[in-house]
Amino acid sequence: MIKKTIHNFSLLQICQSGQCFRMFQESDNTYSVIANTKYLEMEQHGNSVIFHCDEEEFAGFWMKYFDLENDYSVYMEQINPRDSYLLHAAAFGAGIRILRQDLWEMIVSFLISQQNNITRIRRCIQNICECYGEQQMNAHGKTYYAFPTPQSLAGLEEDALKECNLGYRSKYVVRTAKSIVSGELDLDEVRRMPYKKAKEELMKLFGVGEKVADCICLFALHHLQAFPIDTHISQALEKHYKRGFPNRRYNGYQGVMQQYIFYYELFGERFDK
């Protein structure tokens, strides 16, 4: 068990932020997450966070996964003091971190995300993990499933994942798995590419457009300059940034600002009323 005092860190906000679909709120202050083959339980009270793992696993994996080496107050301090909307959004979502997640998992997750909502995405991913992922067991003897490998999906018929509620997205995922297994796409090479090159390479995949590629770049490759534009972001830009988002001011970390905006558009209004 590791206990840390962490500022600008909220398990609730990270769980709700739409970047991670295998993190769950178990009770008011307790959360679980599955990443790669690892399972972690956490609890938070204010700035105090308990990670139920040993020091070696925390330092070797979870520190990087939750991006705990970065001070997010530095990003917030750069916000234009005249931009009341972004200041409000950042204050509202100040506990969000950009997670460092697995590239293959993020490719599949955001292929599934198209024309979908967070609840259904979670269910689809849970379905394919239970059907095609390797069974694991946590420290309490509870069964969970690793994310399926490309190899485990590449041999399927293109419509096979419709049984997991993926609908037309089934062919996107199966074809992508085949591309990776055949060597058409080398995940290790993509991991080494700069942002623009990685985005171009990802957009060669069947079903990957600009928004999905940017999500993968941001949440898997940690290219913080990626700025995915979905319906929520598009509406916010139209309302608050008619001349376009000031990318130059936030060069290199636009994606952090995107997450503040996205989270605020999802949840801010209901709390502001």
Q: Which residues are catalytic?
A: 211
How many helical (H) and strand (E) elements, i.e. helices and strands, does the chain have? 14, 7
| Spatial distance between the Cα atoms of 131 and 148, rounded to a whole number of angstroms | 9
| Spatial distance between the Cα atoms of 110 and 114, rounded to a whole number of angstroms | 7
SS in 3 state form for 63-78? HHHCCCCCCHHHHHHC
- Using CA atoms, how far residue 96 sits from 91, 109, 140, 165, 208, in Å, is 10, 19, 28, 29, 26
| Spatial distance between the Cα atoms of 29 and 132, rounded to a whole number of angstroms | 31
| Spatial distance between the Cα atoms of 256 and 96, rounded to a whole number of angstroms | 9
Pairing of the two strands 23-25 and 135-137: unpaired
Tokens representing 203? 């957009």
